[in-house]
Amino acid sequence: MADSNILEIIDLRTHFFTDEGVVKAVDGVNLTVPEGESVGLVGESGSGKSMTAFSILRLIPDPPGKIVSGQILLRGQDLLKLPERQMRSIRGKKISMIFQEPSTSMNPSFTIGSQIEEAIRFHQEGRASDVREKALAVLRSVKIPDPRRILSQYPHELSGGMLQRVMIAIAISCEPDLLICDEPTTALDVSTQAQIITLLNELRSQRKTSFLFITHDLGVLSWICTYAAVMYAGKIVEYADIRSLIRTPRHPYTRALIGASPRLDCDRDALSSIPGTVPNLIEPPAGCRFHPRCGRAETICSSQTPSLKEEERGHWVACFTERNGDGAENA
Amino acid sequence: MTRYILGRVIQMVPVLFGVLLLVFSITNIIPGDPVLLMLDVKYSEKEYKEMQAYLGLDKPLYIQFYNHVKGVLKGNLGKSIRTREPVTKKILERFPSTFVLALAAMLIVVIVSIPVGVIAALKQNSKIDYICMIGAEIGISMPIFWLGIMMILLFSLYLGWLPAGGRGEPPDLLHLIMPAFCLATPYMAMTARLTRSCMLEVLRENYIVAARSRGFPEWQIVLRHALRNAMIPVVTNLGLQLSRLLGGALVIEVVFRWPGMGALAYDAIMERDYPVLMGVVLIVAVIFILVNLVVDLSYTFFDPRIRYDTRKG
Ligand SMILES: Nc1ncnc2c1ncn2[C@@H]1O[C@H](COP(=O)(O)OP(=O)(O)O)[C@@H](O)[C@H]1O
Ligand SMILES: [Mg+2]
C-alpha cells in the first residue's frame, strides 16, 4: 500500500439494535484510502457499504445504530474519539459526502443558492458578496450552465443529473481532503451517469482530493477507482489495486461478481445474478459469511472466519481456499 | 396568483347560495312559530295575521327566500324579529368578541404546541416525551364544554381566581383566559402530536442527513432544515382546524357567556329569531371560506413546490 494514508479504518463495527435483534451492518471492516487515490467499495445492496460511509462521518442514526468498536483514522487522528463539536468541523470541511438520491438529498424548501451559500458561509468567513461569488464559481466548476439562474431555483425545478452536480458543488465547495460518494450515479440514467463520472474524474485529477467511492456497478468502479475493496455481509473480503482485482480476483465472491458481468463497461446489475441472497445480518452464517453461496466451500469455511491476509503484495483476501497461493489456477 | 384567488372567490357563490338555502329550510322545519312568540298568550286571528304580515311571514316560502336572498345581495340581512334592530348591526357588535376568542386560542395553540411537539420529537421516548404525549392524549379526549364547566367549578367557584363568564366591563384579559385555554385545549393536543410526528418523519429524511454531513450544528438542522418542512402539514392542519376552532368558539361562548356570535346564535335559536340566526350562519360560512382561502395561500410560503399561478397542482 502507499506510504501515507488519508483514511484508515480499523476493525470498524456498526450495529443496529432493533426489536428483531442486533443488525451487524458493519462487522469488522478494515479499509484504507491512500492519499490522493480513489478507493472503490463494491458489494451487493445491503452489504453495509453506506453504513461504513456513514460511520466515517458519524452520521449513523442513533438510536437504533451505534458504532460499537473500531478506529477511524483521518491522517492518524481517530474520528471516533473526537467530541461532537470537533467532528462538526471535519464534516463538510475535511470530509464531504454525496449521496445516492440527489432528489431527496436537497432540502425542498430552500433555493439551491441558499443551500450552497449556507455550506460556504458555515466553513469559512467572508462577506456576503464573496459568498455569492464563491457559490457561482463552484457551480461553474461542476459545469452547470447558467449558474446565476440555478441559484434562485428550488430543487424540484432541476433534473436528477443537475441536482447531483449541485450536490457535488456543495461537497467540494470547502475543498475537502476526502470525498465520499455513496452510489452517486445509481439513481441517474445512463448518459447522465457517464457525465457525472467524467466530472468526478476531472475534479479528482484537478484537486488532488482522495475518494471513497461506493458503487455496486463494476463498470463504474473500474472507470473511476485506483483501488477497490469488495464488501460482503458487513465485512471486506478482498482489497487490491483495481487492475489486479479485475484481472486476477482471488475471492470466490469477487470472481462471481466479475464472472456475472459479461462486459464490464456495460454491466448494470451483475450482482443480482449470483445465486442465493445476501445473508441476514442479525444471525449471519457462522464462519465465512459467503460459504453458503460459495461453490468451493470446504469444512473449515463453515466453522472459522477467515481474516483479511495479504496474499500477494498489495492484494488482500479473506478466504481459506485461496491460501497457499493457488490463485493462478482459477484466474 | 390573482387569477387563482379570483377563481376561489367565484367558487364561493354557489357555496353561499347553498348555505342560505339550507339555513332557510332548517329555520322553517324546526318547530316553534316566531309569530306566536311575538304575541300575547291570548290572541285573535286578526292579530296573528297582522303580526305575520308585519314579519313578512305571510308570503309563500319561495317568495320569502327570494326576498331574503335579494336583501343579502344588497348587504341587508334583515331585522331582528325581537328587537327590530338590523341583523348586520347585531353581528358587527358581536363579531370582535368571537374574533378575539378564536385568535387568543390560536395563539395559545401555536405558542404552546409547536415547541412541545418539537421537544418531544427531539427527546423521543424520554420522560419528557411521554409526559407531553399523555397530556396530549388527555387533551384530545376531553369534550370542551365539559372541560369548560370543570374549569369554572375549579377556578371560579372553588378557588375564586377567575371570573366565571362574560367579557368584563370594559373587556379584559382576565375574562379571556379560561375560555381561550378551554377552546385551545384539544387543538393544542392535536397540534403537539402532529408536530412531533412530522418532526420525527422529517428528521429521517435524506436531506437532513445531507445537512448533517456538512457539519451544521444541531440547532441549525432542527430549526432551519427540519422545522420548516415539518411545519407544512402542521400549518395545513391548523388551517383545517381553524374552521373547527371557530365552531368550537361558538360552543365555548355559550358555556362562558362570552358575548360573541355563538352566544348570539344560541339566543336567536332560543327566541326563534330567524333573521338573526340566518345572518349569523351566513357570516360564519363566509368567514370559514375566507379562512380556508387564506390558509391555502399561506402554503405557498411554506412549500415552494406549490405555486398556484405557474403550476396546476
Ligand atoms: N436504521 C436502520 N435500522 C436497522 N437496520 C439498518 C438501518 N440502516 C441500515 N440497516 C441495515 O444495515 C445493513 C447495511 O445497510 P447499507 O449500509 O445501507 O447497505 P448498502 O449501502 O451496502 O446497500 C442492511 O442490512 C440494513 O438492513
Ligand atoms: Mg447504500
Segment (H or E) for A33 = strand A21-34
Are A213 and A100 in contact, with CB atoms under 8 Å apart?
no
Residue B153 confidence (pLDDT) above 80: yes
A260 to A214, A254, A330: CA distances (angstroms): 19, 10, 15
Instruction: Give contacts of B303 with chain A, Cβ < 8 Å.
Output: 108-109
Compare CB distances from B214 to A54, A61, A122 and report the shortest one's residue: A122
Work out whether the CA dihedral A190, A238, A15, A47 comes out positive or negative: positive
Atom nearest to A53 CA in ligand 1: 17
Task: Give the whole-angstrom CA distance, residue A280 versus residue A291.
Answer: 14
**Residue B304: pLDDT band by 50, 70, 90 thresholds?**
low
| Cβ of A9 less than 6 Å from ligand 1 | no
Residue A178 C-alpha, separation from nearest chain B C-alpha, in angstroms: 13
Predicted local distance difference test score (pLDDT) of residue B296:
76
A167/B207 Cβ within 8 A: no
- Rounded to the nearest 5°, which phi and psi values hold at A53? -65, -45
**Residue B300: pLDDT band by 50, 70, 90 thresholds?**
low
- Rounded to the nearest 5°, which phi and psi values hold at B240? -60, -40
Predicted local distance difference test score (pLDDT) of residue B164:
85
pLDDT tens readout for residues B98-122? 999 999 999 999 999 999 999 999 9
Which of A56, A53, A10, A7 shows the shortest CA–CA distance to A34? A7
More confident residue, A249 or B41: A249
Are B121 and B199 in contact, with CB atoms under 8 Å apart?
yes
Predicted local distance difference test score (pLDDT) of residue A258:
83
Compare CB distances from B228 to A91, A109, A167 and report the shortest one's residue: A109
Task: Give the whole-angstrom CA distance, residue A221 versus residue A211.
Answer: 12
Task: Give the whole-angstrom CA distance, residue B234 versus residue B231.
Answer: 5
Task: Give the whole-angstrom CA distance, residue B265 versus residue B272.
Answer: 10
Predicted local distance difference test score (pLDDT) of residue B171:
82
Task: Give the whole-angstrom CA distance, residue A193 versus residue A201.
Answer: 12
Q: What is the mean pLDDT of residues B170-181?
A: 90
Residue B313 confidence (pLDDT) above 50: no
Q: Cα(A207) to centroid of ligand 1, in Å? A: 32
Residue B311 confidence (pLDDT) above 60: no
More confident residue, A129 or B204: B204
More confident residue, A3 or B61: B61
Predicted local distance difference test score (pLDDT) of residue B132:
92
Q: What is the mean pLDDT of residues A254-281?
A: 66
Residues for chain A: how many in total?
331
A99/B209 Cβ within 8 A: yes
Which residue out of B126, B201, B213, B311 would a mutagenesis test of the A interface target, given it has the greatest number of A Cβ atoms within 10 Å? Answer: B213
pLDDT tens readout for residues A167-177? 999 999 888 99
Instruction: Give contacts of B215 with chain A, Cβ < 8 Å.
Output: 88-93, 122-123
Are A203 and A173 in contact, with CB atoms under 8 Å apart?
no
**Residue B68: pLDDT band by 50, 70, 90 thresholds?**
confident
Q: Which domains does chain A have, with CATH numbers?
A: 5-94+177-277 (3.40.50.300), 99-175 (no CATH)
Q: What is the mean pLDDT of residues B203-222?
A: 92
Q: What is the mean pLDDT of residues A282-305?
A: 83
Instruction: Give contacts of B216 with chain A, Cβ < 8 Å.
Output: 88, 92, 118, 122
Taking the CA of A52 as reference, the closest ligand is 1
Predicted local distance difference test score (pLDDT) of residue A116:
93
Residue A329 confidence (pLDDT) above 70: no
Residue A186 confidence (pLDDT) above 90: no
A170/B215 Cβ within 8 A: no
Residue A25 confidence (pLDDT) above 60: yes
Query: Which residues of A lie inside 8 Å of B (Cβ-Cβ)?
Result: 54, 57, 59, 61, 88-93, 96-97, 99, 101, 104-109, 111, 118-119, 122-123, 154, 156, 167, 170
Compare CB distances from A57 to B213, B229, B303 and report the shortest one's residue: B213
Minimum mean pLDDT range among A148-162, B76-90, B182-196:
B76-90
Q: Cα(A269) to centroid of ligand 2, in Å? A: 15
* Cell representation of residue A67: 458504532
Predicted local distance difference test score (pLDDT) of residue A326:
46
Atom nearest to A182 CA in ligand 1: 21
**Which of A27, A51, A232, when mutated, tests ligand 1's pocket best, judged by the most ligand atoms within 8 Å of its CB?**
A51
In the sheet with A315-317, reading across from the earlier edge strand, the strands are A95-98, A178-182, A210-215, A38-42, A227-232, A235-241, A315-317, A309-312
Q: What is the mean pLDDT of residues B7-26?
A: 85
Residue A27's beta-bridge partner residues? A13
Residue A328 confidence (pLDDT) above 50: no
Residue A263 confidence (pLDDT) above 60: no
Instruction: Give contacts of B209 with chain A, Cβ < 8 Å.
Output: 54, 59, 99, 105
Q: Which domains does chain B have, with CATH numbers?
A: 93-258 (1.10.3720.10)
Segment (H or E) for A5 = strand A5-18
User: How does the average pLDDT of chain B come out, rounded?
Assistant: 86
Which residue out of B202, B203, B214 would a mutagenesis test of the A interface target, given it has the greatest number of A Cβ atoms within 10 Å? Answer: B214
Q: ∠ at Cα A302 (A301, A306), nearest 5°? A: 40
More confident residue, B241 or B151: B151
Residue A34 confidence (pLDDT) above 70: yes
Name B107's Cβ contacts closer than 8 Å, sequence gap at least 6. Answer: none
- Give DSSP secondary structure letters for chain B: -HHHHHHHHHHHHHHHHHHHHHHHHHHHHSS--HHHHHS-SS--HHHHHHHHHHHT-SS-HHHHHHHHHHHHHTT---B-TTT--BHHHHHHHHHHHHHHHHHHHHHHHHHHHHHHHHHHHHTTTSHHHHHHHHHHHHHHHS-HHHHHHHHIIIIIIIS--S-SSS-TTTT-HHHHHHHHHHHHHHHHHHHHHHHHHHHHHHHTSHHHHHHHHTT--HHHIIIIIIHHHHHHHHHHHHHHHHHHHHHHHHHHHHHTT--SHHHHHHHHHHTT-HHHHHHHHHHHHHHHHHHHHHHHHHHHHH-TT--TTT---
**Residue B310: pLDDT band by 50, 70, 90 thresholds?**
very low
Task: Give the whole-angstrom CA distance, residue A108 versus residue B229.
Answer: 8
Residue A204 confidence (pLDDT) above 70: yes
Q: What is the mean pLDDT of residues A173-191?
A: 89
pLDDT tens readout for residues A74-94? 998 999 999 999 999 999 889
Compare CB distances from A93 to B205, B215, B217 and report the shortest one's residue: B215
Task: Give the whole-angstrom CA distance, residue B52 versus residue A106.
Answer: 69
Minimum mean pLDDT range among A67-71, A119-123, B168-172, B247-251:
B168-172
CA atoms within 13 Å, Cβ hemisphere of B167: 16
Q: What is the ipTM of this complex?
A: 0.86
| Cβ of A100 less than 6 Å from ligand 1 | no
A167/B215 Cβ within 8 A: no
Residue A38, Cα to own-chain centre: how many angstroms? 10
B304/A109 Cβ within 8 A: yes
Segment (H or E) for A196 = helix A190-207
Are A131 and A119 in contact, with CB atoms under 8 Å apart?
no
Are B195 and B119 in contact, with CB atoms under 8 Å apart?
no
Percent residues over pLDDT 90 in chain B? 40
Instruction: With H, G, I as helix, E, B as strand and everything else as coil, classify residue A15.
Output: strand
Q: What is the mean pLDDT of residues A141-159?
A: 91
Which of B154, B94, B110 shows the shortest CA–CA distance to B280? B94
